[in-house]
Amino acid sequence: MRNIIFNVAIIAFFIFIGCDYQENTPITITNNTSYDLLDVNFTWDWGSGKIYNLGNINSKKNVTIQLLPGGFGIHGETGTGTITFILESSNGNPILCTIKNITIKSNYKNEYLINNNTTVSYSNNNRDTIQNIAGPVKTATLIINNMTDYNFLNVEYDSVNFGNINSGRDSRKNVSPGTKFIYFNLQPKSGIVRLRTEPFTSINGNNTITITNNTIVTVLGDDIRSTVKSIFDDLNK
């Protein structure tokens, strides 16, 4: 009788452990390339081919997903998954790329880094690096024009630093085309505050965005959304 109780307890323990780690298997996919990866999907071989859609992962960004339980039986067991995404070549053609045999470990913070020199499969099982497939990185000239009454500090768009832009001035930089936020700091009496604009779409050629006192922005961390002037006045009291 004691043996039966002991065996049942052991089985219950492993079931409990299994439930615990099966619910804690995240994977973070980081796009460290110079290109935006479109319609990114992760297929988990353990999960009966379940497909997780991650949307688009812009250059220098990452996305984390939580894998659902199923398929593996002991803590720390490893398996594989597959990443697919659309890569737009320099001539505008969409190319379906695949990275197979991504190693996943149960109950572990899995991370996978995609670089320019990552080799992928594409077009009838051809293989090459992402950089060679995509070709030269597209660039667009972006001009940020500060027409507010305030100086902007540490202005950024898509990780490109435009420096400080004083009131009535502008700054010009080359950026990767896409839809991104513009970030900048204001310095009222209460201290420096970080703001972001609504998403701005840059395209090939020259692009200009003008920020005025009435431009709607969001205060990072506080989720306050109002005009540049209203936010400055409130924090400058």
pLDDT of residue 169: 97
> Residue 127: exposed, middle, or buried by beta-carbon count in 10 A (0-12, 13-18, 19+)?
exposed
pLDDT value at 17 more than 70: no
Over residues 23-73, the pLDDT tens digits come to 578 899 999 998 889 999 999 876 567 889 999 998 889 999 988 765 454
Check: CB of residue 32 under 8 Å from CB of residue 9. Answer: no
170-175 and 160-165: which strand pairing?
A: unpaired
8-state DSSP, 69:
P
Most confident of 41-50, 87-96, 106-115: 106-115
3-state secondary structure of 237: coil
What's the chain's average pLDDT?
Answer: 85
pLDDT of residue 69: 64
Band of the pLDDT at 157, cuts 50, 70, 90?
very high
Q: What is the mean pLDDT of residues 165-179?
A: 90
pLDDT of residue 20: 41
Q: What one-letter code names the amino acid at 108?
A: Y
pLDDT of residue 37: 94
CA distance 181 to 174: 15
Q: What is the mean pLDDT of residues 135-159?
A: 91
Q: What is the mean pLDDT of residues 94-116?
A: 91
Domains defined for the chain, CATH in brackets: 2-134 (2.60.40.2890), 140-235 (2.60.40)
pTM: 0.57
Q: What is the mean pLDDT of residues 123-143?
A: 88
193-197 and 182-186: which strand pairing?
A: antiparallel
CA distance 154 to 95: 36
Band of the pLDDT at 179, cuts 50, 70, 90?
confident
Over residues 203-218, the pLDDT tens digits come to 777 889 999 999 999 9
